[in-house]
Amino acid sequence: MPRPVHRPAQLRGRVFRGTSAVRGGLLTPDCLRGPAWVRLFPDVYADAALDVTHTVRARAVGRLLLPHGVVSGASAAALWGLTDLTRPEDDVEVTVAPGTPRGAAAGVVVRRRALPVDQVRPVEGVRATAPETTALELAGRLPPDDGVVLLDRFVAARLTTLTTLQLTAAELTGRGSRRARAACALADGLAASPPETRLRLLLSRSSLPPAVAQHAVRRDGVFLARVDFAWPERRIALEYEGAWHTTRIAADRRRIEALQAAGWRVLFVTAADLHSPADLLARIAAALSE
């Protein structure tokens, strides 16, 4: 008959140093090698019942493995709430100051550079690069449009402001700084989703008349709706229709009916439309010419 698994209450749902647990009499070395615990990094373990996300692993690195370091890159973005930018198994990125131990370990990417104090903030119990620093560093590594999408997401999540990004970008130096500044120049922080940013970039590069983003439609001074993009003088609105709209069908219908009653025509864009940009632009152009 198998022996019962020993899981002290103090360690349930936790990430911890193995040596500390042994020294404190909570576990024995043999227990650490048992099925109740998962080894994340050298001497860093987690309760096997814990959902080990990238955020959990990033906290483990910043708090236990390399407490003198600063979680950075996509790992910092995950700590700030943009968890879809990483997978659980992705390497955790951490930045350490010159002259300090690198603490090399499988599953960890260590970058060495000095980080000014104002570029470091506490989050999730560890030190991480500030939101604007994180966003611009990642934008400097990404393809141009992806960088713009990322910056818009940071602003939409209220992690930073467009002004802060612009001021920080102006002082950037080194690799990726030019790309980050270019992305910052194209960001507007108004989009509610990445596809909306991509749609805005598509419109801005086309020969169509300039559209107004997040336009508030009013009738006789009364607010009716806010639309993703608009050509107010022609009363044409353009709306990106994502999956989230299915959760608010009734409200959306009333909103569209109010716009139509005010003489507005509403065009809808889906993810499939963004894969056929020429057809989409032709459809919008036809509506504008009517």
CB 128 within 8 A of CB 138: no
pLDDT at site 192: 86
Whole-angstrom distance, CA of residue 124 vs CA of residue 58: 9
pLDDT at site 215: 94
- Domain extents in the chain: 9-47, 54-129, 134-189, 196-289
Whole-angstrom distance, CA of residue 36 vs CA of residue 50: 10
196-289 architecture in CATH? 3-Layer(aba) Sandwich (3.40)
Q: If you count them, how many residues does the chain have?
A: 290
Q: Token pair of 288, please?
A: 């504008």
pLDDT at site 246: 52
Whole-angstrom distance, CA of residue 76 vs CA of residue 69: 12
pLDDT at site 249: 67
Whole-angstrom distance, CA of residue 158 vs CA of residue 189: 9
CA angle 177, 93, 54 (to 5 degrees): 125
pLDDT at site 1: 41
3-state SS assignment for residue 129: strand
The alpha carbon of residue 40 and the mean position of all alpha carbons in its chain are separated, in whole angstroms, by 24
Q: Helix crossing, 177-186 with 162-170: angle to 10°? A: 150
Q: Indicate the pairing of strand 92-96 with strand 212-219.
A: unpaired
- The DSSP symbol for 279 reads H
3-state SS assignment for residue 46: strand
Residues in Cβ contact with 22 at an 8 Å cutoff, skipping those fewer than 6 apart: 28, 29, 32
- Helix or strand holding residue 265 (H, E): strand 265-269
The alpha carbon of residue 240 and the mean position of all alpha carbons in its chain are separated, in whole angstroms, by 20
Residues in Cβ contact with 59 at an 8 Å cutoff, skipping those fewer than 6 apart: 15, 79, 124, 125, 126
CA-based nearest residue to 73, from 60, 51, 58, 88: 58
Q: Which residues of the chain have pLDDT under 70?
A: 1-5, 243-249
pLDDT at site 174: 86
